[in-house]
Amino acid sequence: MKNQPFEDLCAAEKYMVSMMKGAKNPKSKLDSMIFVIEFQGRLDGTLEAVNAMIHACDEVRKSILLRKVIAITLTLGNHINTGGEGNLASGFSLKALIELDNVSTDIVSV
């Protein structure tokens, strides 16, 4: 009769009671079980993000139009900074690219 309430429980409830009585640190064990269950979904999400980044890098690396824009930007920058003569720069910073957006807006509004 003492075991009757236990016998009335479903399998999941019996498992939880057993965990509470016999297991040392049941919270850690449940946390581990939850981690195992959620791991594959988290891994899939991370791999999807990594693959998107790899794809974006490939697109940037292969872009002919981007190369042309960068070459034109470098040529114009060298011309503006040296007056068409003198030491030519071999590159520019990403900050300079961001500032180009401001230049194009200023030119359009003039």
Per-residue pLDDT of the chain (110 residues; tens, 9 = 90+): 456 777 788 888 888 777 777 667 778 888 888 999 999 999 999 999 999 999 999 999 999 998 898 888 888 877 777 766 666 666 777 787 777 777 655 555 54
Burial of 46 (0-12, 13-18, 19+ CB in 10 A): exposed
**Cα(7)–Cα(2) distance, integer angstroms:** 10
According to DSSP H, which parts of 63-91 are helical? 64-82
73: tokens are 């930007």
Q: In whole angstroms, how far apart are CA 19 and each of 16, 51, 85, 98?
A: 5, 40, 81, 59
